[in-house]
C-alpha cells in the first residue's frame, strides 16, 4: 500500500494489509465497525505493485464482496408501566425484534424465581416460561396485594441466545381513606378502608385513648362504641405484600362536645345600669346549638338577642350568673354560666356605654339618617352598626375603623317599618328603635 497514493492518509478504521508474490489472490478482511456519528464513511481499497515509489502503478481488482453483519436488537416492553398495589389487571410483555433478525427458534421468559407474584394461565407462574419460536409476547396477571418480580426474556436465534432488557415492574400505592361518619352519639357505627387491597392486614387505633372502644382492632372493618364524650382521631395502619400505603386519618366527634369547649365571652365585672354584650362561644366545626335560652341576674334585662348566640343586656344592681342553656350535638339539653360582679365606682373612663347613649337623627327617617355617639368616653368611637328588622334578621351591618363618633347610614331600599339599631363602641352594645317612613 502506498502511503502517498492519491494523497489519502492511511489512518482510519479496519486497516488491513497483506504482502503477496502471486498475481492472483483472494483476501478476507476482518470484520470492523465504524463509530456512529461519522459523517464521512467510505471504503477505500487499493494496492501497490513492484514500484512502491510511483503513483502510476497499474493494478486490477476483479471483485469486491461486502458481507454486512445484521443488527440484533431484541427489546422488551410492557403494556402497564406501573401497577397499583392490589390490581389484578393482566399485563402483557412483548419482545420487539428491532433488527428484524431471522431464524428465531424460541423465546424464554425469566421471572426471577417461583415466588414472583405473577399468575400464568390461571396458576402460579414458574421462574421461567418458554413460549416457542412464534410467540413473542406473554400475558401475566398480578397476584392481588403481592410484590411483583421484574421480567426479562432470552431469544434463541441462529444458535445464539440473546438477552433482552429487563422490564422493571413499578408498583404504586393506592389512595386509602376511612369510610364512616364524622360523629356519633349512640350505637356502634362501623368504619372500613376505602380501596383496601386484598390480602392486607389492618391495625386500628383511636387517640386519645379511652373515649371509644374498638370492637376489632385488626379487622378490615371495625365498630366504635362511645365510652365518654370527646373528639378522637381514628387511624389505620395497612400492610400489604407490596408495601405499606398511607391512610388518611379521620377526626370523629363522639357524643356531645365537652362543656369545657364552650364558654361565655363578655365582661366579668360590670357597672349598674349599663349595656353589655355576651356571646356563646362554641368549638370550630360545631353548628350553632339549638334551643338557646339565656338567663341573667335579678334586676337585669336582655334588650336584644334572646334565643341567639349573642345577647345585649342592661345591667341591674345585683351580681350573679349570666347563664345560657342549649341543646348539644346529641340533642341533649345542657348549659354553662359565667359569674358577673357589679363593680363599685371606678373612674369614668372605665364605665361601659349606657344604653341609648347615642342619637339617631332624623327619626322617623325616609332612609338616610345619622348616628351620633353621646357616651361620656372621651376616646370612644363607633366601631360597628347593625340594623335588624322585626324578625331579628340583620338588614344592615357595617364595621368602622375611622374612629368617628358620627356615622351616616343610607337605608332607602328598605320598606316602611320599625327597625332596631345596634351600636358597638368597642366595649359594649346599645340599641334604639328607628322608624322608616317612605
Nearest CA among 247, 281, 234 for reference residue 173: 247
| CA nearest neighbour of 140 among 169, 105, 163, 164 | 169
Distance (Å, whole) CA 221 – CA 234: 13
| Residue 199 clears pLDDT 80, i.e. is over it | yes
Q: What is the mean pLDDT of residues 279-295?
A: 87
**Calculated CA dihedral for residues 78, 84, 86, 92, nearest 10 degrees:** -10
Residue 216 and residue 58 in contact, taking contact as beta carbons nearer than 8 Å:
no
CA–chain centroid gap for 27, Å, is 72
If you average pLDDT over residues 175-191, what whole number do you get? 92
Please count the CA atoms within 13 angstroms of the CA of 316 that sit on its side-chain side.
Answer: 12
Pairing state between β 269-270 and 176-179? unpaired
Question: What single-letter DSSP state applies at residue 60?
Answer: -
Mean pLDDT within 230-248: 91
Check residues 160 and 257 and name the one with the higher pLDDT: 160
Q: Average pLDDT of 300-304?
A: 90
pLDDT at 14: 57
Sheet holding 190-194, edge to edge: 212-214, 221-226, 190-194, 176-179, 247-248
β-pair partners for 118: 142
pLDDT at 350: 34
Name the band, by pLDDT with cuts 50, 70 and 90, for residue 1.
very low
Residue 260 has pLDDT above 60, yes or no: yes
Q: What is the mean pLDDT of residues 106-117?
A: 95
pLDDT band at 213; cut points 50, 70, 90: very high
Cβ-contact 342, 412 below 8 angstroms:
no
* Amino acid 273: pLDDT: 82
Q: What pLDDT does 4 receive?
A: 43
Query: What is the CB neighbour count within 10 angstroms for residue 150?
Result: 14
> What is the 3 state secondary structure string of 66-105?
CCCCCCCCEEEEECCCEEECCCCCCEEEEEEECCCCCCEE
Cβ 142 vs Cβ 87: under 8 Å:
yes
pLDDT digits over 9-22, tens only? 555 555 566 666 56
Point out the least confidently predicted range of 248-262, 305-319, 343-357: 343-357
pLDDT at 88 over 80: yes
Place 2 in a pLDDT band, splitting at 50, 70 and 90: very low
Between 18 and 58, the higher pLDDT residue: 18
The overall average pLDDT reported for the chain is 83
Amino acid at each position: 500500500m502506498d502511503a502517498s497514493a492519491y494523497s489519502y492518509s492511511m489512518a482510519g478504521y479496519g486497516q488491513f494489509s497483506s504482502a503477496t508474490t502471486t498475481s492472483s489472490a483472494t483476501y478476507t478482511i476482518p470484520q470492523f465497525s465504524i463509530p456512529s456519528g461519522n459523517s464521512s464513511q467510505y471504503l477505500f481499497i487499493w494496492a501497490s505493485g513492484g514500484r512502491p515509489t510511483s503513483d502510476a502503478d497499474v493494478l486490477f481488482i476483479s471483485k469486491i464482496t461486502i458481507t454486512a453483519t445484521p443488527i440484533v436488537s431484541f427489546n422488551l416492553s410492557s403494556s402497564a408501566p406501573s401497577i397499583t398495589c392490589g390490581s389484578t389487571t393482566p399485563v402483557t410483555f412483548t419482545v420487539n425484534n428491532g433488527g428484524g433478525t431471522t431464524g428465531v427458534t424460541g423465546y424464554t421468559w425469566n421471572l426471577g424465581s417461583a415466588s414472583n407474584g405473577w399468575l400464568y394461565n390461571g396458576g402460579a407462574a414458574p421462574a421461567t416460561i418458554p413460549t416457542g419460536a412464534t410467540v413473542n409476547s406473554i400475558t401475566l396477571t398480578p397476584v392481588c396485594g403481592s410484590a411483583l418480580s421484574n421480567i426479562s426474556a432470552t431469544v434463541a436465534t441462529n444458535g445464539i441466545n440473546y438477552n433482552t432488557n429487563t422490564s422493571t415492574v413499578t408498583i404504586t400505592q393506592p389512595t386509602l381513606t376511612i369510610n364512616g361518619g364524622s360523629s356519633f352519639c349512640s350505637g356502634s357505627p362501623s368504619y372500613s378502608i376505602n380501596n383496601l387491597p386484598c390480602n392486607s392486614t389492618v391495625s386500628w387505633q383511636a387517640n386519645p385513648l379511652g373515649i371509644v372502644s374498638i370492637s376489632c382492632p385488626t379487622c378490615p372493618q371495625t365498630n366504635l362504641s362511645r365510652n365518654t364524650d370527646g373528639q378522637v382521631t381514628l387511624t389505620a395502619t395497612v400492610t400489604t405484600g407490596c408495601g405499606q400505603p398511607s391512610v388518611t386519618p379521620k377526626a370523629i366527634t363522639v357524643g356531645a362536645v365537652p362543656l369545657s369547649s364552650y364558654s361565655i365571652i363578655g365582661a366579668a365585672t360590670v357597672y349598674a345600669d349599663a349595656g353589655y354584650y355576651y356571646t356563646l362561644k362554641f368549638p370550630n366545626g360545631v353548628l350553632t346549638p339549638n334551643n338557646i335560652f339565656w338567663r341573667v341576674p335579678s334586676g337585669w334585662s336582655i334588650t336584644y338577642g334572646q334565643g341567639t348566640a349573642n345577647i345585649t343586656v342592661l345591667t341591674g344592681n345585683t351580681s350573679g350568673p349570666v347563664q345560657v342553656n342549649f341543646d348539644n350535638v346529641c340533642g341533649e339539653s345542657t348549659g354553662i354560666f359565667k359569674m358577673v360582679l357589679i363593680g363599685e365606682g371606678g373612674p369614668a373612663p372605665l364605665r361601659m356605654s349606657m344604653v341609648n347613649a347615642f342619637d339617631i337623627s332624623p327619626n322617623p327617617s325616609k332612609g338616610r339618617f345619622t348616628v351620633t355617639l353621646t357616651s361620656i368616653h372621651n376616646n370612644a368611637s363607633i366601631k360597628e352598626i347593625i340594623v335588624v328588622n322585626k324578625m331579628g334578621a340583620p338588614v344592615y351591618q357595617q364595621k368602622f375603623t375611622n374612629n368617628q363618633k358620627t356615622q351616616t347610614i343610607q337605608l332607602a331600599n328598605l320598606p316602611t317599618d320599625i327597625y332596631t339599631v345596634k351600636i358597638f363602641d368597642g366595649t359594649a352594645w346599645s340599641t334604639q328603635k328607628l322608624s322608616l317612613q317612605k
